[in-house]
């Protein structure tokens, strides 16, 4: 399996090299040259598999033997042994043909654990084999950072620097990152928003001259293909639990950087019978505007009660565009350069038609989101986190096929967002798990940095071990 850049001007790489490269040298994102496809019969034969066994079936074609099968199985087992629920990704029914896929049972209480704990183990395996040290530089809108730190903090071959927007993540999200005091972990609070953090990371990948000559950057954001690959699995897991491939299933996905829902799109291409994928957004609704009105234009980023979705430039949307434009790297390069220059991106009629055949979208503001949390609790006794509430309401407003079950991805534990819980009118905040009960008593360590790439890069250079 070879991996190619969405902008068509970088050489094809192997699986391991694409993982270590993160962003392609031409500024594009790596994708598989071909998407593996499974027959209906093959998918049906997986119905009784555990999550770990299914993960091997889904991911091994992308790895294509670069990691021996026994080693890959061992990495998968190690990854999901840290999850607190035996089902790994349990389904909870909340209405007729409506289900919540709980993706918050990993060590940092968010869906990012599914990919980042696996990426951390895989990265450690590859770096030890190559006897190589690397620098991880990542941006987070809240959940990626803690999951990446948890996945990589024990690695002797990694120094990890995570940028989060100063005062724009929840206190729980911040403390999950900043209370990890290993010598190879550095948290930087950037005086800007998530897009500023993400742009700084991408620019640094484009020019790594600030690093020592024996080091390279590795990505933990969803620009890293391994992140997407690992997230495909839970779509198959949920679909099989609802009798796929013998019936179709829809998914509603709280969406910021487009990686999670792009994994669902790939699951559909691989053979899972997905009817619709719902792009659920908050007030930062560039993806909703794109699908509904072909308006993919930058607006001022809004700080919301669903902070993990406070993103305007969705990196993984480029991977989708590459597919919509029949893998025409030149066309994508032109689109992205124009977007960078003008802040606007207009899809061709054919690309928009293709997108609308799979996706629908919806937007919720903070007021409506908190009302959904309250009403859902009153109706079901189930407490939604703010992002999941957006996903549930988006599904209910856009999907009209009562005969097709819809799975709403629950992307984080509600205890991570106490402010949203209070504003939804709940007097008692949900408790953190026992192993995290002392989170607010733990010592924090982080550095507030200006929104200046030279200053941040110098900080990284000065702190590499």
8 Å CB contact between 364 and 394: yes
Q: Which residue has the tokens 């699986």?
A: 15
Average pLDDT, the chain: 96
pLDDT recorded at residue 52 = 98
Please state the φ and ψ torsions of residue 250, each to the nearest 5 degrees.
-110, 160
Does residue 429 surpass a pLDDT of 90?
Answer: no
Residue with tokens 């609790």: 377
Query: What's residue 142's pLDDT?
Result: 82
Is there a contact between 384 and 417 (Cβ–Cβ < 8 Å)?
no
DSSP letter, residue 108: T
Alpha-carbon distances of 208 from 5, 161, 269, rounded to whole Å: 19, 14, 35
At 49 the pLDDT is 98
Mean pLDDT over residues 422-445, rounded? 91
| pLDDT confidence bin for 427, thresholds 50/70/90 | confident
Per-residue buried b or exposed e for 295-316, using 16+ beta carbons within 10 Å of the residue's own CB: bbbeeebeebbbbbbbbbbbbb
Residue predicted with more confidence, 30 or 429: 30
Among 328, 317, 331, 329, which Cα is nearest to 265's?
317
pLDDT, one tens digit per residue, over 102-121 is: 999 999 999 999 999 999 99
Task: Compute the distance between CA of residue 220 and CA of residue 140 in angstroms, rounded to an integer.
Answer: 10
For 436-440, the CB contacts below 8 A with 24+ separation are 436/109, 436/176, 439/172, 439/175, 439/176, 439/179, 440/171, 440/175
pLDDT attached to residue 91: 98
Question: How many whole angstroms separate alpha carbon 348 and alpha carbon 280?
Answer: 23
d(CA 172, CA 277): 30
User: Nearest to residue 125, comparing CAs of 82, 186, 63?
Assistant: 63
Does the pLDDT value for residue 236 go beyond 90? yes
Where is average pLDDT lowest: 231-240, 292-301, 419-428?
419-428
What the chain holds in terms of domains, given with CATH numbers, is 77-108+225-423 (3.40.50.1100)
Helix (H, G, I), strand (E, B) or coil at 276: strand
Tell me the C-alpha distance between 49 and 419, whole Å.
39
> What average pLDDT does the segment 417-426 reach?
90
What residues are paired with 23 via a beta bridge?
A: 29
Cβ-Cβ contacts under 8 Å for 373 (sequence gap 6 or more): 383, 384, 386, 389, 420, 421, 424, 426
Other beta carbons within 10 Å of 248? 19
Output the CA–CA distances (angstroms, integers) from residue 222 to 143, 292, 328, 361, 452, in the order listed.
12, 25, 21, 21, 23
Phi, psi of 179 (to 5 degrees): -95, 5
- Both tokens assigned to 212: 């020592």
What does the pLDDT read at residue 118? 97
Per-residue confidence (pLDDT) for residue 237, from 0 to 100: 98
Question: What's the pLDDT at 22?
Answer: 87
Q: Are 381 and 346 in contact (CB under 8 A)?
A: no
Average pLDDT of the residues in 52-68: 98
Q: Please give the Cα distance from 376 to 222 (Å, whole number).
A: 31
- 454-458 long-range CB contacts below 8 Å, 24 or more apart? 456/163, 456/188, 456/190, 456/200, 457/204, 457/210, 458/210
302-319 mean pLDDT: 94
User: Given a cut of 90, is residue 337 above it in pLDDT?
Assistant: yes
Q: Which one, of 91, 98, 92, lies nearest residue 401 by Cα?
A: 98
Looking at the predicted structure, is the pLDDT value of residue 428 above 90? no
Asked whether the beta carbons of 9 and 329 are under 8 A apart, the reply is: yes
Asked if 112 is an active-site residue, the reply is: yes
Reported as a pLDDT band with limits 50, 70 and 90, residue 270 is very high
Query: In the predicted model, what is the mean pLDDT of residues 259-283?
Result: 98
pLDDT at residue 400, rounded to an integer? 87
For residue range 357-414, what is the model confidence (pLDDT) as tens digits?
999 999 999 999 999 999 999 999 999 999 999 999 999 999 988 899 999 999 999 9
Compute the distance between CA of residue 12 and CA of residue 4 in angstroms, rounded to an integer: 5
Over residues 161-217, the pLDDT tens digits come to 999 999 999 999 999 999 999 999 999 999 999 999 999 999 999 999 999 999 999
The pTM for the full model equals 0.95
Choosing from 2, 34, 40, 112, the catalytic residue is 112
Q: What are phi and psi of 91, to 5 degrees?
A: -100, 135
DSSP string, 344-393: EE---HHHHHHHHTTEEEEE--HHHHHHHHHHHHHHHS-PPPHHHHHHHH
Residues forming a β-bridge with 13: 3
Among 175, 162, 183, CA closest to 449? 162
Q: Is the pLDDT of residue 300 over 90?
A: yes
């Amino acid at each position: 399996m070879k991996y190619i850049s969405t902008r068509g001007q970088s050489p094809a790489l192997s699986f391991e090299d694409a993982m270590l490269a993160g962003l392609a040298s031409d500024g594009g994102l790596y994708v598989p040259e071909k998407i593996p496809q499974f027959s209906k019969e093959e998918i049906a034969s997986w119905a009784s598999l555990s999550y770990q066994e299914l993960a091997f079936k889904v991911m091994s074609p992308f790895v294509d033997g670069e990691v021996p099968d026994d080693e890959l199985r061992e990495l998968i087992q190690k990854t999901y042994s840290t999850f607190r629920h035996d089902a790994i990704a349990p389904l909870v029914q909340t209405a007729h043909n409506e289900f919540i896929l709980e993706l918050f049972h990993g060590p940092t209480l968010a869906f990012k654990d599914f990919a980042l704990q696996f990426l951390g183990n895989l990265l450690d395996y590859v770096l030890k084999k190559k006897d190589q040290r690397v620098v991880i530089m990542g941006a987070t809108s809240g959940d990626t950072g803690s999951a990446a730190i948890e996945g990589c903090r024990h690695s002797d071959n990694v120094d990890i620097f995570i940028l989060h927007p100063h005062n724009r993540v929840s206190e729980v999200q911040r403390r999950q990152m900043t209370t990890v005091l290993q010598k190879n972990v550095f948290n930087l609070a950037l005086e800007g928003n998530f897009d500023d953090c993400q742009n700084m990371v991408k620019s640094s990948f484009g020019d790594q001259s600030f690093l020592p000559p024996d080091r390279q950057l590795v990505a933990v954001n969803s620009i890293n293909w391994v992140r997407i690959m690992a997230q495909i699995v839970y779509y198959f897991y949920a679909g099989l639990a609802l009798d796929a491939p013998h019936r179709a299933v829809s998914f509603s996905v709280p969406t910021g950087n487009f990686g999670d829902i792009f994994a669902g799109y790939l699951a559909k291409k691989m053979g899972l019978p997905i009817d619709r994928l719902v792009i659920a957004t908050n007030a930062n609704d560039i993806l909703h505007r794109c699908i509904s009105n072909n308006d993919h234009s930058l607006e001022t980023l809004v700080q919301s009660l669903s902070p993990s979705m406070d993103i305007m430039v969705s990196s993984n949307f480029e991977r989708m565009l590459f597919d919509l434009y029949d893998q025409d790297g030149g066309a994508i390069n032109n689109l992205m350069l124009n977007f960078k220059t003008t802040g606007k991106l207009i899809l061709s009629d054919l690309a928009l038609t293709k997108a609308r055949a799979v996706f629908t979208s919806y937007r919720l503001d903070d007021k409506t989101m908190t009302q959904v949390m309250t009403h859902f609790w009153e109706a079901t006794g189930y407490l939604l986190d703010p992002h999941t509430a957006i996903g549930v309401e988006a599904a209910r407003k856009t999907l009209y096929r009562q005969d097709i079950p819809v799975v709403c991805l629950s992307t984080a534990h509600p205890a991570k967002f106490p402010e949203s819980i209070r504003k939804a009118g709940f007097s008692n905040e949900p408790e953190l798990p026992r192993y995290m009960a002392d989170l607010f008593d733990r010592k924090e360590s982080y550095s507030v940095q200006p929104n200046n790439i030279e200053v941040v890069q110098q900080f990284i250079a000065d702190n590499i071990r």
